Structure 1
Amino acid sequence: MIGISLLLATALAVQEAPTLRAFTLIGIDGRRRECVDLAVSTSGQVHCAGEVALVGLDDLMAIVVTPADGAAANRPAGPQVFVLADGSRLHGRLVDGPRASRHVIADLGLGEPLQVPFDSLAAVRLSDAGSEAGEREWSARLSRRDTTRDFLIVLGPSGITALPGALEELSSTGWAFRFGQQMRRGEIDKLYAVVFAAGTSKAAPWSARVRMRDGDFVSASLVLADSGGARLRTSFSDELSIPWDRIDRIDLRSRRLEFLSDLTPVKVESRGYFGYAWPWRADQSLSGGPLRAGGQTFAKGLAVHARCVLSYELAEPFERLLASIGLDDSASGGNAVFRVRGDGKALFESGPVRAGDVARDIDVGLEGVRQLELEVDYGDGLDLGDRAIWGQARLMR
């Protein structure tokens, strides 16, 4: 796993009435620490307003930014949506200018427009017209990208058409697309979206994910920062600067953690009260939205429907399993029981967990455990509404 490097300047410019920016540090064990004018040394030690080192970056799961007083509300930088191969999603707009072959020039509201290579892109949605058919088509194509072909999603008199081929040019005014041996060109206003071929290479895992106040987010392999904001090394820019006032939080991928949603269970048992086998989901709810339980939103986790048992083989020793458990906030009248077993032995049982309950933090010791089972069983009331969330379910080394 790529290590995290987060560098923040310790010296702040002297002002007559300095504005102190507040941060919340979330440890890998879930504990929180409030911090003012956060800084991190080159050795990866976190400092707050000149204090001695508090914690190392590998001991952190996230840094949450409190907007400065008077900070303006964030608005998307443009109507178009750029989805990167590394999972980043940014609003902006295409602009004209000199560009390299098979690149777009995008104004993302982050300083000068950027040249982004086609190989770094997963998709671009060009229309914000709100076409339901267009949105369905682009979402479906994006979720199962072809390995060799790009797809143009075109708005026509008869509806939406998805055309396979190879995109050669994309600008603010038009496009060029190769169909077999033929090259076609068209105006940008007839194009709803383009979904790029996935290829065979995989994007490097991110070490930090910056979530912005307008809902956009950027994955990065390296984060540098100063008192003005974060500077990211991404798949499409060696140095992308984002001011603190645009940042909501930075999620960090600690080398001490493995999220269960990043692992594949060796066995899944799913059977509802009436025999239906509900699918389980990683990092999203059963309906495909964010993971929300007990009034909290979780960036990572597992969503299941009772009764469900997920079994994992642990290839290395871990100290603890940590998670926040609860029923999906959209559940009505649910009642379920959460259990954890290690090598067949009971390690944890929640008792009844009901819809509307506050999410409950759990900390389960895993010394010597090689086979881990997470179970959600139905309680009273059959399995009605038993949509369960294992929020931030993670193994700690």
Structure 2
Amino acid sequence: MVLRMRDHMSLLIVLMLLWAGMEAVVVASDVRMSMLDGQTREGQLTSISGENISFNENGMSVNLGMTDVLAVEISAARTVPPQDPQVLSLNDGSRLHGSAIVRSAKELTIESPGLGRVSVDSRKVQSVRLQSDNPAYRAQWATFLQRESEKDLLVVAKRDGTGLDFLAGVVTSIGAEKIEFLLDGENVPVPSARVYGVVFAKAAAEGSEQAGTKSTIRVTSVSGDFLAAKSVSLENEKLQIESAWGQSLTVPLEQIQKIDLSGGRVQFLSDLEPLEERFDGVDLEGDLLSGLTDKEQQKLLFGPRRDTTMERHSKIRLRGREYSRGLCIHSRTEISWALDQQYSSLDCIAGIDDEVAFNGLYKVGLKISGDDRVLFEQIIATTDEPISLHLPVDGVSTLTILVDFGDEDSTCDWLDLADARLIIAKDKP
């Protein structure tokens, strides 16, 4: 009897130790880290504190300085579509999905499923979308977001459903039932259900001393939220975030997709104004579309896209993975940028976009040059896996990218340079 009890106790202890070991494995999340030197490191993330990142790599504990890391991606993260209809966008680039948006003269609040109640200074708000995303309105809404206006834009859906319309005035409050709107000095209550969204006056945001506060960290959640942050720390699988708008937030690491630490050290190529951009047409002879469209119309149809594919409103996608930044370039196009010896490397992932990659075997040519020196040149086929490039551009004054016909044909020539970024040199001339 004693032996049996001892056996049971021994078994219980073994099970407890095994369970503890399993817990220890769960606590450390598998991550992939993009380094400043172009390398990628993988391991189990254990903590982020101060200026250091700690992780286990091949059974060894490693500490890295944050200045050496561009991004931390959670390997097990799986994106999930947001369930809440409303979207809050801030001037610092933050974008949150949620519900129950309420705005007063000084403060705006939103109920976020992952963050709880988020409170923001009204002057830091760029826009709010109050209704569910409507694909038919997406392009028009994006245009409203780019408008420079000294007044708030109250955006409503046309009654016949054919598009969006707007009124320019001053939004004094937003509630669940109505929006108070000053139009030509007269207060007009508008039912909230009628309003698709509000784009706030640019002048008000620029007049705020802290509205354009720069943040160096960007956190992306699995539901597609973006949070601009001043600092982050990690302990016991909880990410502590000091947001750019001044609120402290705690998020389980399982809800995080990526921690981007590249702010101030990276220039996205899609944000850099080209020195020269030349589109030579979609065929060698130049007569494929002759009589159908002129060269300018062809450029509108097939010219380079920034952060989208040729379809303009579709994200860049390579082998199932979506990218929010990058270029999509059709043959035959040549683009040059002035680097002025300010950068150390060009990093990107090159491949033919998923939208056309599975339509047959086609090829496109890619040539990247720094001044008069060829940095990379290759024919890329629709069947090829995406290529990760890390090209040194130290001392380069002009960067030139040529996307050419790879098989004397431009069919499926949607060449993506996903996540294309220039690393700013530490010691600029």
Q: Shared fold by TM > 0.5?
A: yes
User: Which residue number corresponds to residue 363 of structure 2?
Assistant: 335
Aligned to 2:406: 379
The structure 1 residue matched to 2:310, chosen from 286, 307, 313, is 286
Residue among 27, 51, 73 paired with 2:35: 27
Specify the alignment match of 1:214 in structure 2.
223
- What percentage of aligned pairs have identical amino acids? 26
Bigger shift: 253-262 or 303-312? 253-262
**Residue identity opposite 1:104 in structure 2:** L
Once residues 369 and 139 of structure 2 are traced to their aligned partners in structure 1, the CA distance between those partners, rounded to angstroms, is 40
- Give the counterpart letter for 2:54 in structure 1: H
Question: Which is worse superposed, 174-183 or 305-314?
Answer: 305-314
| Corresponding residue number in structure 1 for 2:153 | 151
Cα displacement (A) at 1:87: 2.5
Backbone CA RMSD of aligned residues? 2.9
Q: Deviations over 1:309-357 (max 9, x none)?
A: 221222235443332211111124542111112222333211x211231
- Check conservation: 1:77, 1:107, Cα contact below 8 A: no
Structure 1 position 158, deviation (Å): 4.7
1:86 to 81, 92, 100: 92
RCO higher in structure (CA 8 A, sep ≥6): 1
2:242 is equivalent to residue 233 of structure 1: yes
Equivalent position SS for 1:119: helix
Unaligned runs of 5+ in 2: 1-18, 287-294
Q: Does the aligned pair in 1 maintain the 2:104–2:172 contact within 8 Å?
A: no
Structure number with higher helix proportion = 2
1:204 to partner: Cα distance: 4.1
Match of 1:58 in 2: 67
In 2, the alpha carbon distance for the partners of 1:234 and 1:299 equals 21
8 Å contact from structure 1 (residues 104, 171) kept in 2: no
Distance in 2 of aligned mates of 1:137 and 1:317:
37
What residue is the counterpart of 1:249 in the other structure?
A: 258
Inter-partner Cα distance in structure 1 for 2:303 and 2:352: 16
Q: Say if 2:375 is the partner of 1:347.
A: yes
Alpha-carbon shift at residue 171 of structure 1 (Å): 1.6
Q: Does 1:138 align with 2:141?
A: yes
CA offsets per residue over residues 194-248 of structure 1, 9 Å max, x none? 2222237373444222111122222223323332422333343432322212111
1:295–1:358 CA contact under 8 A, matched in 2: no
Distance verdict in 2 for CA 1:75–1:313, change over 3 Å = closer
Q: Which amino acid aligns with 1:140?
A: T
Aligned letter for 1:366? V
- Distance (whole Å) between structure 2 residues aligned to residue 389 and residue 308 of structure 1: 13
Match of 2:15 in 1: none
Task: Name the CA distance, whole Å, in 2 between partners of 1:29 and 1:300.
Answer: 20
Q: Label 1:155 to 1:46 Cα distance change in 2 as closer, same or farther (>3 A).
A: closer
Scaled by the length of structure 1, the TM-score of the pair is 0.83
Find the structure with the greater CA-based Rg.
2
Residues 238-292 of structure 1, C-alpha deviation per residue, up to 9 Å, x if partnerless?
Answer: 3232221211111221555433223222111122223532322223223232222
Choose from 242, 260, 267 the match for 2:269: 260
Kindly provide the amino acid, as one letter, of the partner of residue 335 in structure 1: K
Structure 1: stretches of 5+ with no match in the other structure: 1-14
Q: Tell me the equivalent position of 1:359.
A: 386
Partner of 1:395: 422
Shift of the 286–218 alpha-carbon distance from structure 1 to 2, 3 Å rule, reads farther
Seen in structure 2, the aligned counterparts of structure 1 residues 363 and 76 have a Cα distance that, compared at 3 Å, is closer
Q: Distance in 2 between matches of 1:346 and 1:194?
A: 48
Bigger CA drift: 384-393 or 75-84?
75-84
Work out the number of aligned pairs and report it. Answer: 374
- Contact residue 57 and residue 254 of structure 1 kept, 8 A: no
Taking a change above 3 Å as real, the CA distance of residues 20 and 66 of structure 1, as seen in their structure-2 partners, is farther
Distance 1:367 1:228, change over 3 A: closer
- One-letter code aligned to 2:274: P
Partner of 1:12: none
Deviation, structure 1 residue 387: 1.1
Letter in 2 for 1:248: Q
* TM-score between the two structures when normalised by the length of structure 2: 0.77
**Corresponding letter in the other structure for 2:153:** F
Assess if the C-alpha contact under 8 Å between 2:105 and 2:122 holds in 1. no
Q: Which stretch has the larger CA shift, 209-218 or 133-142?
A: 133-142
